[in-house]
Structure 1
């Protein structure tokens, strides 16, 4: 069974189309990454699925029910959208007990979700003492209270420090092994690459890819990474290889990347040697999933802003 289906789902804000006609199916029982640059319509899509925003056109179903009747499925959906809100002076347990009573859920669910998110033993402390990462875990606990068939998390690591990101990643990996369907949105693929089986990639509301991560990796290429022994030779190394016809890029750390495969490693080494440049290192690697993602969506904020500006101009015509 498909957990979510959309058919031409569209959302416009004036002349800007935040979600273009989107037709996609999300499978059950998997951790699904909804990824794309900031401003690509991920949160807008999630709000339509949760009945918080009406589509401009098209339709969708969640757990087999239409999004025009969210009351038919929201009882089986848990969601964390933006920063969770709790009463700061109350303990985590008291906050969750209040939410459980409001939803007519048994108190045993509070103990269960506190254990799941790893807050047992800290649950009687006031929420105002919690770190941001702990508050995010508490927000996920609140979303898990109804024991949902579908859990939707919108940018769960947004604003967290590195340790908080690691905490939430670990929790999401744990939730993924429990058999429920989890939809996680992010603008950084590295946050969810290790835990997601299925990816949906959108850019400015347009679907670029939907399917298993392994399917996206089939488009990955290879590259050769190398460094000159002396940093002063880096620019000359780049120029030498470009003159030989290779596509070359370098970063501020002195690493030089050549878009080439394993068969080109020896010729690259010989070209550097012929130019009088000794290499400190040379290695061949396959492009990562993040490399593929950035190639699809844009490498820099400037590229993304330019793309969005083009979209806005076209919408105004």
Structure 2
């Protein structure tokens, strides 16, 4: 069973194509990561699924209902889109109680969601005293009020400090065990890698991958990390490695990353030695999911800016 389906789903703003024709099927009962660099069309896609904006072309369904009739499914969808808005002078509990009454939900749901997001004991404090992480938790609690079959969270860790990010990650891991489908968008794969079973990767409106994380990991390779004894030799080390035909994929703060496997470790060491460079570090590691993701989407701001310029030139975001 699919929670979301899309066939040729497209959204244009004038001459700009924010979401290129997109076809995908998202399984039910899983935590799904919607990932891509900033400005890739993730929020635009979510707004179409929520019925907030209409597609320019194509079709999609949410919970087996067409997105052209959002009133048929929105009662079974919880969403946190952008920063949650609450009455600052009211307590977290009072804000949730008001929302529950507007939706005709029992007060028991307020108690349940407060416990789920870990705000029990802080729920009677005014929201103006909440940290940003607590406000995000309260926003997720509001999205959970109808006990939704589909929970959509758009950049839930955006703007949070490291401790707040850890809090929200922990909460998402907990929600993953509740049986509902959770769709989490982010531009940072590390936020959701540990809990997602399924990934959708988009880049400037174009679908790059949709499927299980294991499928994306099958594209992972190995790399060799090097560091010269003296940081001043880093540029010469890079030149020596490239001169022998290996690809250098990163060089920062004295560390050099080479796209190579374990069988290349000794030859790389010899190449450095032949160039008169002594290595103080050489290690072989398997590429992570984030390495694969960055290889697909671009791993530097310069690469992303160049790709954005190319996309804009052809009318795509």
Fold conserved between structures, TM > 0.5: yes
Counterpart in the other structure of 1:221:
221
Tell me if 1:41 matches 2:44: no
User: Would you say the 8 A contact 1:238–1:250 is kept in 2?
Assistant: no
Structure 2 match to 1:253 = 253
String of CA shifts for 1:218-239, please: whole Å, max 9, x gaps.
1112110111122222222222
**2:238 and 2:10 mapped to 1: Cα distance?**
46
Contact 1:238 1:249 in 2 (8 A): no
Secondary structure class of the residue paired with 1:87: coil
Find the counterpart in structure 2 of residue 292 from structure 1.
292
Aligned to 1:207: 207
Cα distance between partner residues in 2 of 1:274 and 1:312: 46
Secondary structure at 1:105 match in 2: coil
1:11-40 superposed Cα distances (whole Å, 9 cap, x missing partner)? 110001111111100000100000111111
- Residue 249 of structure 1, CA deviation: 4.5
Separation (CA, whole Å) in 1 of partners of 2:243 and 2:300: 26
Q: What residue in structure 1 maps to residue 66 of structure 2?
A: 66
Q: Hey, what's the Cα distance between the residues in 2 that align with 1:224 and 1:314?
A: 37
Question: For 2:163, what is the secondary structure of its paired residue?
Answer: helix
Shift of 1:250: 4.6
- Whether 1:195 and 2:195 are equivalent positions in the alignment is yes
SS of residue paired to 1:305: helix
Alignment of 1:232-271 (within 5 A): 232-271=232-271
Give the RMSD, CA atoms, in angstroms. Answer: 1.3
Distance 2:158 2:250 in 1: 29
Q: Distance in 2 between matches of 1:180 and 1:315?
A: 37
Q: Secondary structure at the match of 2:315?
A: helix
1:272 maps to 2:285 = no
Unaligned runs of 5+ in 2: none
Question: In the alignment, which residue of structure 1 is the partner of 2:17?
Answer: 17
CA 1:250/1:2 → structure 2, altered by over 3 Å: closer, same or farther? closer
TM-score by length of 2: 0.97
Scaled by the length of structure 1, the TM-score of the pair is 0.97
Alignment of 1:159 with 2:159, yes or no, is yes
Distance change (3 Å), C-alpha of 1:36 and 1:259: same
What's the CA shift for 1:314? Answer: 2.1
Runs of 4 or more above 6 Å deviation: none
Asked whether the 8 Å contact 1:225–1:256 carries over to 2, the reply is: yes
Q: Residues 21-80 of structure 1: CA distance to partner in whole angstroms, max 9, x if unpaired?
A: 111000001000001111111101100101111111111111011111111111110000
Q: How many residues align?
A: 316
